[in-house]
Amino acid sequence: MRVEPMHRIVGHMAVPGDKSISHRAVLLGALCDGETRVTGFGRSADTEATIEAVRALGITVYEYDDETLHVFGKGLRGLGAPAKPIDCRNAGTLVRLLAGMLAGQEGQRFTLTGDASLSARPMGRVTEPLRLMGAAVESEDGHLPLVIEGRPLHAVTYELPVASAQVKSAILLAGLSADGETTVVEPVPTRDHTELMLAAAGATIVRRQTSVSVRPAARLALGEIEIPGDFSSAAPFIVAATLVPGSELHIHGVNLNPRRTGLLGILARMGANVTVYNRRQIAGEPAGDLEVRSADLVATAVTGAEVPSAIDELPLFVLAASCAHGDSVLRGAGELRAKESDRIEATADALRALGQHVRAVDDGFRIRGVPARPHGGRIASRGDHRIAMLGAIAALASRRGVEIEDAECVAVSFPGFFELLDSLRREAAE
C-alpha cells in the first residue's frame, strides 16, 4: 500500500475503543455472574480472538453491532474446557490473561495455541509465577502451546523481574481462586486496567505505590462497561499532527490513564503542542479530548522508567525524535524485541529506509534528529501492526510518500486505520 504526504492535518476524529480494556471487559465478563453489557468495544483481530476464546469456554456473547456486546458470564468457576485447543491467534494479552483465568478451573484441562508470531513470543514469564501458585502449566520450551490443568492455587507474593501488565494481570486473575492474598510487586508501575475493572466488579483489591494485591472472590458482577477511545490508536495521529506543518487536529473521548499516556509527557518536553480539554471519567478511567497543533521538536532522552507507560508508542517517539533538533536516546526498552516483531530492529530499519538517522542498540535507540520531512521510500512492516502504522505516519510527514509492505496487518489492532486516515485527507482538502 502506498501512502502519500499531507500538507496539513485538520479536523475532528474519534478512535476505536481501548483494545486493552476491550480484552478485559470480555474476559472478566465471562467470570462474572450474569450479564455484562459492553459499549464502545474496540473491534480488531485481537479482540475478536478474545470473543471466540470465551465462546469456546462455553460463554455466550451476543454482538448487537461492532461496538456493543452482551457477555453472559458463568461465574468464577464456570468455564468449561473445549474439545479443541483455544486459538489465541496473535493476541498476547489474551493468551497471558487467559492462562491466569484457567489455572484455577479445577478438574479442567485447556490447551492454548496461537499463530506463528505469538508462538515465537516468550511465555515463561507467565508460566513461572503460575507454577509457584501451584498451577499445572506445560509449554514447548517456554513457548506455545500451553497446556493448563486447573488445580487448587496458593497465594504468593511475586516480584516481577520485568515490568509487564500482562503478567501482573495473569497473576491477579489466578489470585481470585487462590487460598489467600496474592500480591504482585512491580519494578515500575504498569497499566492498571485489570485491577480497576476487578475492583469495579466487586473484587477486593489493595493498591500500593509499587504493588497490588487481590483476595479470593466468591462472585463478580460488572453490569455495564463503557470503553473509552484507545490512546494507542490516537497516538499515531498525535504524532502526525505534530510533525506536519499547519496542522490542528481534535481527537475526542480518548483514554488518558496516566499509566498509558507516557508518550504525552515525552512529547511535551520535546516541545509538542498538545492540549487536553473536556476531562471526564469513562467507566472509571480518566478520559478527555485532545487538541494537537504542529510544533518544532527538540531532542530528549527516554529512560527505562518511562518505557512501560509508552511501550506501544515508542516507535512513534523514534520517528518524532528523528525529525527533531538534536540527538535523542531511548534506553531500557529491551521488551520491544519480544513483540509481534523485534520492534527495535524493525523500527530502525523502517526509518533508515526513509532517510532517517536511527541506530538500534541492545535495549533501545540512538537518534540523530534532522528537522525536515523524511525523504520517503519503502518499508517492510514485518507483519507488525505498529510498524505498518509507523510507516503510514512517516508517509504523511514525508516528501515523497511511503510504500508499506503488508499494510493490512494494521487490522490486528485498528482495522479502520487507513479509512480514518483517508477521512482526514478529505477533510483537509475541503
Whichever domain contains 32, its CATH number is: 3.65.10.10
Of 201, 226, 251, the one marking the end of a domain is 226
Under DSSP, is residue 41 helix (H, G, I), strand (E, B) or coil?
coil
Amino acid at 340: E
Please calculate the CA angle 165-169-173 and round it to the nearest 5 degrees. 180
Q: What is the pLDDT of residue 89?
A: 97
Q: Does residue 221 sit in the same domain as residue 75?
A: yes
Q: Does residue 371 sit in the same domain as residue 237?
A: yes
Q: Does residue 336 sit in the same domain as residue 422?
A: yes
pLDDT category at 61 given cuts 50, 70, 90 is: very high
Q: Does residue 132 sit in the same domain as residue 271?
A: no
Q: Does residue 189 sit in the same domain as residue 67?
A: yes
Domain membership of residue 183 as a residue range = 19-226
> Which segments are annotated as binding site?
19-20, 24, 92, 121, 164, 166, 312, 339, 343, 386
> Which segments are annotated as binding site for phosphoenolpyruvate?
19, 92, 121, 166, 343, 386
Q: Does residue 188 sit in the same domain as residue 249?
A: no
User: Would residue 312 show up in a list of annotated catalytic residues for this protein?
Assistant: yes
Q: What is the pLDDT of residues 386-409, one digit of tens each?
A: 999 999 999 999 999 999 999 999
Q: Does residue 212 sit in the same domain as residue 137?
A: yes
Q: Percent of the chain having pLDDT more than 70?
A: 100
Of 226, 250, 280, the one marking the end of a domain is 226
Strand duo 211-214 + 182-185: pairing: antiparallel
Q: Does residue 120 sit in the same domain as residue 172?
A: yes
**Does residue 283 register a pLDDT over 90?**
no
List Cβ neighbours of 196 (8 Å cut-off, separation of 6 or more): 284, 285
Other Cβ atoms within 10 Å of 201 Cβ, number: 23
Q: Does residue 248 sit in the same domain as residue 324?
A: yes
17 touches 40 (CB < 8 A): yes
Q: Percent of the chain having pLDDT more than 90?
A: 98
Of 175, 207, 226, the one marking the end of a domain is 226
> Which segments are annotated as binding site for 3-phosphoshikimate?
19-20, 24, 164, 166, 312, 339
Q: What is the pLDDT of residue 429?
A: 81
Average of per-residue pLDDT across 279-306: 95
Q: Does residue 287 sit in the same domain as residue 242?
A: yes
* Domain tally, the chain: 2
Q: Does residue 215 sit in the same domain as residue 300?
A: no
Q: Does residue 108 sit in the same domain as residue 25?
A: yes
Determine which one of 18, 33, 46, 312 is catalytic.
Answer: 312
pLDDT category at 126 given cuts 50, 70, 90 is: very high
